[in-house]
């Protein structure tokens, strides 16, 4: 064969002796580098098609590579035309998904595929401008044929899909092999099937005859048996009917008599209870009136004691009903709330509204993270208004170091509890149990959260019932009330003893010299002691006991939210906080796609979005135990494997509680969108990526931690959410890429918050 003809057919052997220098290659584009390769290796269709052996590499992380690389037409072994750190005989990279699809356990696997240039960062890292990767979509499985090439070479050269070497390996495309094998067995299968069909037909005919005879005999036996039983039952029924009717009449009369007697007893009991309750109310009103008249308590405390409190100043006549107007559809109400917030001047994407509504229903701690002015506290306030709730924004101070800064403390000298705005918000919420309260700790990480919030967060972990907080000792309250009882008794006795008309307050009582002298004697005071000062002391102590109980139950109408900024003035969140919270990260509003939000809202076609929605406390989530971990559940299996393959390898804390929180979030989020890929996307953003803070240079198997994120973890996440349509701001894939890019620019230090 002439050289010209061979060159036209693309069968020239690769120019293996050629080696290009750095000087020649340094300014070449990817297209020019690719051209150098296929010209050097003599691929005239501008595609580098090779065959080789697929291998699985087991280690801390399982991955795949292709070695024993040969030219697909000439079968010559290929080497890079460059003195590479990783020569071609070491193999080329293939994605894990493609590797798993084609690899056969316990045996050599050969494939045919196209190669392309690796990403530039990989070529630079390995100091090889020609480094190649397998194009996953081009992979084709090859089957080895057990024949001698010297006897069949002429035939093999004309066989479609065939590759071979000068040794004994002969491979053929899996598709060609399957087609030929199918053709060879077709006639045999047709003949076999015809005989089987004839035999089956004969057997079926015999079976049908037997079944028909058995059915006829069975029907005859059943008819005889039924007639016998009917006659037997009729005889029994005639004897028993009269007896049953008589017994039922007697039972009915007895029940009627018992019910009548119970009604009389119940009426009497209700009357007695009503009288006792009225007497109790009268007693409380009388004693509370005495305390108010003598200025031991203010009017607001008097109204609280006598259950004459006023409702929250919220006009609910103009509210829409979640049940009646939205048919309890969380997806529909989330769409409406987005439109309502926009009508109020607050632009939030549908994704943020759905996510925030779902997280509120979990009854877990929610942390909103983002730059100052990104809309965190605005979301808390505007959403509270949208559902007829109350927002309380509590600024955190940098000097907070203990739970006392959050909840206050009992002052034994003044014998009263010194409350904080946070505690006052909880107490106010307990007075209005039907109103949703959203308490936001603003700039939560100005102080170390684990110092002042850890005890309260531990209480929030209680899921079976509403958690309780002990503010101070019950003995202190009992001591104050006991002292007050003595004071009231002395004042009442003095007032009654001297029967002074018109004395209706403590000041008038003290202005009467005779009563003043008697009370000092009763109290054991000297002339120098001041009853007015003592009155003030008792008033302060009583106000503390009545206003702030020694134990408070966290109301079920309260949701706790934190808002944080990340800069040089703030502290990072500890693993304990991250393990128990859900993180929602916000970008700058200036980066928001306003047109996209407008289009989302326009697609809902609501006629009027000016009215808030009355959700109801139960519809905003019930505190209950997290779903149980079930090994057979797909979500549990997925994140158990991801923990083993990735989180544990990277040193990221990930436990059973986190998976159970994820199950709870999944169940609730399905009420707005039943999309498993979106749920996985959101769960990774809320619960996993915020824990990515470590040194990316530390080795893990064949990679360091940063390389593991880029080449292994990112690849699996891309497969899990493949096909999910979501903007970059809320995409876990884009977030991982951003983390990797930031780490590469920061000495490979991985930090989600950077």
The answer on 38 and 85 residing in a single domain is yes
Where on the phi/psi map is residue 512: left (φ > 0), alpha (ψ -120 to 50), or beta? beta
Dump pLDDT digits (tens) for 376-416: 999 999 999 999 999 999 999 999 999 999 999 887 776 67
Taking Cα atoms as reference points, which of 364, 352, 428, 386 lies closest to residue 559? 364
Q: Region 473-497: what's the mean pLDDT?
A: 58
- The boundaries of the domain holding residue 493 are 474-547
pLDDT exceeds 60 at position 168:
no
Q: Are 586 and 376 in contact (CB under 8 A)?
A: yes
Residue 286 resides in a domain:
yes
Measured CA to CA, the distance from residue 676 to residue 626 in angstroms comes to: 19
Within a domain: 156: no
185 within a domain of the structure (yes/no): no
Q: Which stretch, 75-89, 480-494, 496-510, has highest mean pLDDT?
A: 75-89
Do residues 459 and 591 both lie within one domain? yes
User: DSSP code of 684?
Assistant: I
Residue that is last in its domain, among 547, 575, 609: 547
* pLDDT of 188: 63
Range 697-722 average pLDDT: 93
Rounded distance between C-alpha atoms, residue 661 and residue 444, angstroms? 22
Residues 6+ apart with CB under 8 A from 8: none
pLDDT at 658: 95
Both 532 and 631 in one domain: the answer is no
b/e per residue 730-751 (b: at least 16 CB within 10 A): bbbbebbbebbeebeeeebbbe
- pLDDT exceeds 70 at position 582: yes
Are 451 and 486 contained in the same domain?
A: no
Indicate if 428 and 454 belong to the same structural domain: yes
What percent of the chain has a predicted confidence (pLDDT) above 70? 73
Average pLDDT over residues 672-682: 95
Distance, in Å, from the CA atom of 670 to the CA atom of 358, rounded to the nearest integer, reads 9
Which segment of 180-194, 249-263, 456-470 scores lowest on mean pLDDT? 180-194
Exposure on the CB side of residue 225, measured as CA atoms within 13 A = 6
- Residue 589 and residue 686 in one domain: no
Residues 528 and 572 in one domain: no
Considering the domain architecture, whether residues 448 and 573 belong to the same structural domain is answered as yes
749 against 101, higher pLDDT: 749
Q: Is the pLDDT of residue 8 over 60?
A: no
Q: Are residues 444 and 561 in the same domain?
A: yes
Confidence of residue 533 (pLDDT cuts 50, 70, 90): low
Tell whether 217 is covered by a domain.
yes
Mean pLDDT of the chain: 80
Over residues 246-282, the pLDDT tens digits come to 777 777 777 778 787 777 777 676 566 555 554 544 4
Whether 693 has a pLDDT exceeding 60, the answer reads yes
Q: Which of 547, 570, 586 is the last residue of a domain?
A: 547
Q: What is the pLDDT of residue 607?
A: 85
Q: What is the pLDDT of residue 149?
A: 45
Element (H, E) at 583: strand 581-586
99-132 pLDDT, tens digit each: 888 888 766 788 899 999 999 888 988 889 989 9
Which residues are CB-contacts of 705 (< 8 A; sequence separation ≥ 6)? 649, 650, 651, 694, 695, 696, 697, 698, 699, 750
Which pLDDT belongs to residue 1? Answer: 39
- Choose between 696 and 153: higher pLDDT: 696
Q: Tell me how many helices (H) and strands (E) the chain has.
A: 28, 23
219 pLDDT above the threshold of 80: no
Each residue of 301-338: pLDDT tens digit? 555 555 555 455 566 778 999 999 999 999 999 999 99
Does residue 701 register a pLDDT over 90?
no
Per-residue confidence at 540, pLDDT binned at 50, 70, 90?
low
pLDDT higher than 80, residue 202: no
Same domain, 570 and 682: no
Question: Contact at 8 Å (CB) between 643 and 350?
Answer: no
Rounded percentage of the chain residues whose pLDDT exceeds 90: 38
Q: Per the domain annotation, does 674 fall within a domain?
A: yes
Which pLDDT does position 353 carry in this prediction? 95
Mean pLDDT of 543-562: 81
The whole-number pLDDT of residue 6 equals 38
pLDDT tier for residue 678 given thresholds of 50, 70 and 90:
very high
Do 591 and 642 lie in one domain? The reply is no
Residues contacting residue 101 through CB under 8 Å, at least 6 positions apart: 139
Tally of domains within the chain: 5
In this structure, what CATH number is given to the domain that contains residue 590?
A: 3.40.50.300
pLDDT for residue 519: 61
For 58-78, write each residue's pLDDT tens digit: 877 788 899 989 988 888 889
Mean pLDDT, range 539-561, rounded to an integer:
76
CA distance 164 to 75: 6
Whether 464 and 585 map to the same domain: the answer is yes
Which residues face 695 on adjacent strands? 749
314 in any annotated domain: no
* Choice among 6-20, 403-417, 658-672 with the minimum mean pLDDT: 6-20
- Spatial contact of 10 and 44, defined as CB atoms under 8 Å apart: yes
* pLDDT value of position 315: 66
Domain-terminating residue out of 511, 531, 547: 547
Specify if 99 maps to a domain: yes
- Is residue 232 in some structural domain? yes
What is the model's pLDDT at position 166?
A: 45
């Amino acid at each position: 064969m002439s050289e010209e003809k061979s060159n036209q057919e693309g069968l020239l052997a690769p120019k293996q002796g050629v080696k290009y220098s750095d000087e020649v290659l340094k300014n070449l584009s990817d297209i020019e580098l690719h051209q150098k390769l296929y010209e050097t290796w003599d691929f005239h269709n501008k595609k580098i098609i090779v065959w080789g052996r697929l291998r699985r590499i087991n280690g801390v992380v399982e991955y795949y590579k292709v070695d024993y690389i040969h030219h697909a037409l000439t079968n010559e072994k290929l080497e890079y035309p460059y003195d590479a750190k990783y020569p071609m005989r070491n193999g080329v990279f293939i994605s894990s998904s493609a590797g798993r699809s084609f690899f056969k356990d316990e045996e050599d696997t050969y494939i045919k595929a196209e190669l392309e240039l690796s990403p530039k960062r990989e070529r630079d890292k390995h100091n090889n401008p020609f480094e190649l990767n397998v194009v996953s979509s081009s992979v084709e499985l090859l089957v080895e044929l057990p024949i001698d090439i010297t006897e069949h070479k002429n035939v093999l050269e004309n066989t479609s899909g065939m590759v071979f070497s000068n040794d004994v390996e002969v491979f053929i495309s899996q598709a060609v092999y399957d087609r030929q094998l199918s053709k060879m067995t077709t006639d045999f299968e047709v003949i076999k099937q015809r005989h089987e069909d004839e035999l089956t037909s004969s057997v079926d005919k015999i079976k049908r005859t037997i079944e028909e005879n058995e059915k006829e005999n069975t029907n005859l036996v059943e008819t005889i048996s039924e007639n016998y039983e009917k006659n037997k039952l009729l005889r029994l029924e005639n004897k028993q009917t009269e007896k049953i009717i008589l017994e039922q009449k007697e039972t009915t009369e007895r029940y009627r008599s018992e019910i009548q007697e119970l009604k009389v007893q119940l009426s009497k009991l209700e009357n007695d209870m009503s009288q006792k309750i009225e007497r109790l109310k009268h007693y409380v009103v009388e004693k509370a009136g005495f305390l108010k008249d003598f200025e031991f308590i203010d009017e607001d405390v008097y109204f609280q004691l006598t259950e004459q409190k006023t409702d929250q100043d919220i006009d609910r006549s103009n509210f829409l009903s979640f049940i009646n107007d939205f048919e309890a559809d969380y997806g529909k109400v989330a769409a409406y709330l987005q439109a309502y917030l926009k009508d109020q001047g607050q632009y939030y994407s549908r994704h943020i509204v759905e996510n925030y509504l779902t997280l509120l229903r979990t009854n877990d701690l929610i942390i909103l993270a983002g730059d100052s002015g990104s809309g965190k506290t605005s979301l808390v306030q505007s959403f509270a208004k949208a559902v007829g709730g109350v927002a309380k924004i509590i600024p955190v101070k940098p000097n907070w170091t203990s739970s006392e800064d959050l909840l206050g403390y009992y002052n034994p000298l003044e014998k009263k509890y010194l409350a904080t705005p946070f505690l006052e918000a909880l107490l106010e919420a307990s007075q209005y149990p039907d109103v949703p309260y959203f308490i936001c700790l603003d700039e939560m990480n100005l102080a170390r959260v684990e110092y002042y919030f850890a005890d309260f967060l531990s209480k929030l972990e209680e899921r079976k019932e509403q958690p309780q907080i002990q503010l101070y000792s019950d003995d202190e309250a009992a001591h104050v009330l006991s002292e007050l009882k003595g004071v009231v008794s002395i004042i009442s006795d003095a007032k009654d003893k001297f029967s002074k008309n018109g004395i209706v307050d403590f000041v008038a009582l003290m202005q009467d010299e005779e009563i003043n002298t008697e009370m000092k004697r009763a109290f054991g005071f000297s002339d120098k002691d001041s009853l007015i000062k003592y009155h003030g002391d008792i008033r302060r102590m009583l106000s503390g006991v009545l206003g702030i109980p020694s134990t408070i139950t966290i109301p079920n109408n309260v949701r706790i939210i934190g808002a944080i900024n990340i800069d040089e003035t703030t502290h990072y969140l500890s693993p304990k906080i991250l393990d128990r919270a859900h993180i929602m990260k916000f970008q700058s509003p200036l980066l928001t796609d306003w047109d996209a939000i407008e289009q989302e809202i326009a697609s809902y076609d609501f006629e009027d979005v000016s009215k808030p929605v009355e959700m109801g406390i139960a519809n905003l989530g019930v505190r209950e135990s997290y779903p149980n971990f079930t090994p057979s559940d797909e979500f549990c299996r997925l994140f158990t494997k991801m923990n083993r393959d990735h989180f544990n390898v990277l040193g990221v804390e990930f436990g059973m509680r986190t998976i159970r929180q994820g199950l709870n979030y999944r169940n609730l989020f399905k009420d707005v969108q039943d999309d498993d890929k979106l749920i996985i996307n959101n769960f990774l953003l809320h619960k996993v990526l915020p824990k990515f803070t470590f040194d990316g240079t530390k080795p893990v198997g064949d990679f360091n931690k940063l390389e593991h994120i880029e080449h292994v973890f990112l690849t699996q996440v891309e497969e899990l959410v493949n096909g999910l349509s979501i903007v970059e701001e809320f995409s876990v894939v884009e977030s991982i890429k951003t983390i990797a890019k930031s780490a590469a620019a920061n000495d490979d230090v991985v930090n989600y918050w950077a």
